[in-house]
Amino acid sequence: MLPKPSLQRSSPSIINTTTTTTVNAVASTTPRSQLHSPSPLSPGSLKLDSLISMDVRRRQTKMGQSVKTAAGEPPMKPQNHPPTASDALPLPLYLTNGLFFTMFFSVMYFLLTRWREKIRNSTPLHVVTLSESNEDAWDVEDEEDEKFIIEEDSRMGTSPATTLGCAVPVVPIVPAQPAKVSVTEKPAPIITPQSSEEDEQIVKSVVEGKTPSYSLESKLGDCKRAASIRREALQRITGKSLEGLPLEGFDYESILGQCCEMPVGYVQIPVGIVGPLFLNGTEYMVPMATTEGCLVASTNRGCKAIYASGGATGTLFKDGMTRAPVVRFETAKRAAELKFYLENPLNHETLSVVFNKSSRFGRLQGIQCAIAGKNLYIRFTCSTGDAMGMNMVSKGVQNVLDYLGNDFPDMDVIGISGNFCSDKKPAAVNWIEGRGKSVVCEAIIKEDIVTKVLKTNVAALVELNMLKNLTGSAIAGALGGFNAHASNIVSAVFLATGQDPAQNIESSHCITMMEAVNGGKDLHVSVTMPSIEVGTVGGGTQLASQSACLNLLGVKGASKESAGANARLLATIVAGSVLAGELSLMSAIAAGQLVKSHMKYNRSSKDVTKISS
């Protein structure tokens, strides 16, 4: 039997000593197996067991001490209390405790005050880095991160007072405001030495505002020198470097008075090539200027499918640029009278003569009027040869307005453009009536090409087209947007060939149709684009790079055979390229490859957080 330790009779410190001593005595005389035997000791057996092991450790320490002494070291002072765990600490226990408590409360105090300051100053508790914010539609891998951020937000939303158990006022977290740029703060000047003292003086004069920047070309008579001086003045004024924006290697004379005012350099856009696009029996290699990875590769795959299926057919069914001035009368009746006059076929010849007198190529085709009370919107349509034709049509319209002043002296011309044209804005009038070139392009893609090249099947494509390009776009309230990505191809070809990029808006109007043919085996695909606005003369088409791209397509400049043939062919090529682009993207979506291919071609492994501003 084990003697019961007398707990009641001893003070707390004596309790431990007594208990341990008693147990020690027992442990030294009792075999281990007996001590571990659960039966007679339960429930105190566990306590006893742990005490025994503590005692074993202590005895080992004592043994260690005696070994040291034996080795000749000074004998340790005899301890007048049994050793405790705190004996291992370098400082006495009360000092160690004091030190730790002080450190703990100082850190807590610091963190809490910092946290409260952040809330008061509306400083975000978590600053999102560039890499975190650089998520795009294809960023499926980052979904987990998003979930994490949401979780983090919800944590931040819980009351600090509840979570931390302290009375910190809960201040609503407002989004961080962009840092205010001090107006008085002057950026450090960036000064590049000029080639001559004269140029240095001109730069200083521009910086000081004595010489207007826009006048440099006319004053110097040297466009490159003017661009260089303007660029230097700009760097000094803003304190921002233009390094990376090239100045050399561009013909600044070629843009003077035509393409761009006050140049300081030029932006480089890579040009990729797709093809051959087999269209109307001819092969075309189509240049596309883009920075969107995957676009060129995808369109090229569409070209391959078209080529392998025997090619595409493009038909241009309308060609006319429009301009619609707005004029106002005293009464709606007078506005209606002018409408009747302009739309009367008997007056067409007279009006054509007036309209056509300012150009060899601009030929009036028709006039369509819309009334809004006392105001009349007159939409003139004319052929423009190989020019896109905005200047040409505007000149013709001005001729007619001047002429109408004789018979309608009460007509007030409010503006040469009243937006019924409608230029560079999405508008149903272009979608329904057409503007520029109206083209339909089609191809029959064979069943095995759909499978082997496009990696999908006819039924899947037809269904996807119906639910996405037709129904989905209808649900979205689309205006001419019944396609997958016509504007991608239109914009890239426009940039490469010197078209007005802003006109991609109406030029990208497109309805893509897909239908199973030949007993449901093959795919009939078509794109109908009513308002492709392109030219091969004028504007940016005459610049060296753009001109080279037009040359590649065989449509550079004015057509020698028939006026307008080059521009019409270019519009047909645009539609053919869109057909290829639609085929490929739709197939990728039908096959579920879209995200994978974008991750491969459209995502750089470069760490964007390392790119400093």
Residues in touch with ligand ADP (CB under 6 A): 359-361, 384-392, 535, 537-539, 558-559, 563
User: Does an H or E element contain 197, and which?
Assistant: helix 197-207
Closest to ligand ADP by CB, 540 vs 581, is 540
Least Å distance between CB 554 and ligand ADP?
15
Options 139, 222, 292, 463, the catalytic residue: 292
Closest to ligand ADP by CB, 314 vs 538, is 538
What is the C-alpha separation between 533 and 574, in angstroms, rounded?
A: 10
Least Å distance between CB 561 and ligand ADP?
10
DSSP class per residue in 210-265: SS-GGGHHHHHS-HHHHHHHHHHHHHHHH----TTS--SS--GGGGTTTT-SS---
How many CB atoms lie under 10 A from the CB of residue 376? 28
Closest to ligand ADP by CB, 559 vs 577, is 559
DSSP state of 99: H
Least Å distance between CB 271 and ligand ADP?
23
- Let me know: does 294 contact 602? Beta carbons within 8 Å: yes
DSSP state of 86: G
The separation between CA 142 and the C-alpha centre of its own chain, rounded to angstroms, equals 16
What is the C-alpha separation between 528 and 316, in angstroms, rounded?
A: 10
Strands 326-328, 412-415: pairing kind:
antiparallel
Closest to ligand ADP by CB, 65 vs 398, is 398
Least Å distance between CB 569 and ligand ADP?
13
Residue 589 is encoded by which pair of tokens? 């979506």
**CA neighbor of 579 nearest in space, from 401, 312, 203:** 312
3-state class of 381 per DSSP? strand
The dihedrals phi and psi of 55, each to the nearest 5 degrees, come to -65, -35
Closest to ligand ADP by CB, 387 vs 493, is 387
Options 424, 455, 468, 524, the catalytic residue: 424
Closest to ligand ADP by CB, 272 vs 396, is 396
500 is catalytic: yes
DSSP class per residue in 112-164: HHHHHHHHHTT--SSPPPHHHH---TT-GGGHHHHHHHHHHHHHHHS-HHHHH
Sign, CA dihedral 240-244-248-250, equals negative
Options 386, 500, 506, 533, the catalytic residue: 500
Least Å distance between CB 566 and ligand ADP?
7
Residue nearest to ligand ADP (CB): 385
Least Å distance between CB 548 and ligand ADP?
19
Sign, CA dihedral 575-578-580-586, equals negative
Least Å distance between CB 398 and ligand ADP?
13
561 is catalytic: no
Closest to ligand ADP by CB, 216 vs 563, is 563
What is the C-alpha separation between 591 and 456, in angstroms, rounded?
A: 6
Active site residues: 292, 424, 500, 598
